[in-house]
A and B are shown apart, each in its own frame.
Chain A
Amino acid sequence: MAATAMEHDGGGGAEVVTPGELLGASSSLAAGRGAYADGHSVRASVTGRRRILPPTPGSSDQRSTVEVVGHKAHGAVPQPGSVVIARVTKVMARMASADIMCVDSKAVKEKFTGMIRQQDVRATEIDKVDMYQSYRPGDIVRALVLSLGDARAYYLSTAKNELGVVSAQSIAGGTLVPTSWTEMQCELTGQIEQRKVAKVE
């Protein structure tokens, strides 16, 4: 019975574990990510694949570490200070909402919402910012995570030269090409549109 169950496992080698499943004894294994120590045993706390890491050299604890990987909680999660790529979903008078797609060049596995407030759009003259001339729905922006924000969204900032709109579409449907840090030009019609543009090296 056990042999056939292993064959169906997909040949990666690592086996799938579920929360609560026994991974080993705490005398021989230390609990890593996705695992916890429960008395004399180490059990999994999330669903994923079991992985053993060698013990860190030079530490007093010579046990291998077991961890459970592959779960979406271990995908990229925005942290304060990380640079994210987000798509703007809604633009309002004092803020813009965006869906975070990548964190530090790693794609996220679940949906995170970010919010760019009027005072975080740029570094100069922050009270005269016009959100309509900075972002439009559908723009791809590079932003910095300021903080975990409130229950609904992370707080993002684009107040640096290298942050801002990276890619956008014009009203006519063509791609916008940056011409300065405030303007982008449509390649089909030549119309200029205003955005807060990121300086891409």
Chain B
Amino acid sequence: MESKKPLRSAFVDDYVVPGDVVLDLADMTNQTIKLGAGLRQDCDTIQVTSAGRLRLSKPNKYWVENSQKRYIPSVEDTVLGIVVDTKPDNFLVDIKGPSVAFLPVLSFEGGTRRNIPKFEIGTLIYARVVKANSIMNPELSCMDAIGKAAEFGQLKNGYTFETSTGLARMLLSSPTCPLLEALGKKLSFEIAVGLNGRVWVNAPSPSNVILVSEAIKQSESFNRIQQRSMVEKLLAKLA
């Protein structure tokens, strides 16, 4: 398929810190590489700008996977935001990012000037990031790409807590992470996870809500086996 094998970084799947040079472009000719989050081109070298693990997605996309309390908005992320203000054209929503995000009042399924939703300050919203860049406030939408509501919108009742972005990504990984799978077999609850590090849990009984929330908060750095054994121990105590 290709006459030259693309030069692969020696650091793929390793931990890297800001300043590390992961690729030297002087050796490569006529190849494109795509840089994702945490990487920067400095003349002929690719340097790391945030600490984490370097990942490669074939054939040529590199990015740094890291976990932080801060969230940097990026397009097509699903996030949980809290309304902080209303303006004539937008809701101002806090998504734990560097600046407050705008949610246009018409970005709802079947939204017209006559049926604008009334969100009070403090309302929790599940939304999708539509526009995000370094100079403007991010823009959200409560519709998917074709215009349907698709689970986006206000989340009522339940309990919200904050996590790191890495834990949120782990909870959203597919196939379902062992933690949620094991909890779901014994307890009934519903959960919404925002990639910005916010989780919402709702259940018929308050004890279920507390159990699920605490289990998630404890599993910050657990791998699959540790998650499963923690949940088993927890559920055994209840029985």
Contact = CB atoms under 8 A, between A and B. Distances in A.
Interface of A: 91-93, 131-132, 136-137, 172, 188-189, 191
A188 B139 contact: no
Contacts of B41: 172, 189, 191
Report the 5 A-B pairs with minimum CB-CB distance, sorted nearest first. A189-B41, A132-B133, A91-B135, A188-B43, A137-B135
Contact of A136 (B40, B135, B139): B135
A131 B135 CA distance: 10
Main secondary structure on B side of the interface with A: strand
B42 interface: yes
A137 B136 CA distance: 10
B154 interface: no
B139 A93 contact: yes
Interface in B95-151: 102, 131, 133, 135-137, 139
B31 to A, nearest CB: 13
Contacts of B102: 93
19 contacts: A91-B136, A92-B136, A92-B137, A93-B102, A93-B131, A93-B136, A93-B137, A93-B139, A132-B131, A132-B135, A132-B136, A136-B135, A172-B40, A172-B42, A172-B43, A188-B43, A189-B41, A189-B42, A189-B43
Interface of B: 40-43, 102, 131, 133, 135-137, 139
Nearest to B139: A93
Q: Binding site of A, secondary structure by majority: helix, strand, loop or mixed?
A: loop
Contact of B136 (A131, A172, A189, A191): A131
Nearest to B42: A172
A55 B139 CA distance: 62
Contacts of A191: 41
Contacts of B42: 172, 189
A116 to B, nearest CB: 14
Contacts of A172: 40-43
Contacts of A131: 136
A131 B131 CA distance: 11
Contacts of A132: 131, 133, 135-136
Contacts of A92: 136-137
B239 to A, nearest CB: 54
Contacts of A188: 43
Given A91-B135, A92-B137, 7 more contacts: A91-B136, A92-B136, A93-B131, A93-B139, A136-B135, A172-B41, A189-B43
A191 B41 CA distance: 9
Contacts of A93: 102, 131, 136-137, 139
A25 to B, nearest CB: 59
A136 B131 CA distance: 15
B116 to A, nearest CB: 18
A93 B133 CA distance: 11
Contacts of B137: 92-93
Nearest to B35: A191
A123 to B, nearest CB: 23
A189 B42 CA distance: 7
A185 to B, nearest CB: 13
B87 to A, nearest CB: 12
Nearest to B132: A132
Contacts of B133: 132
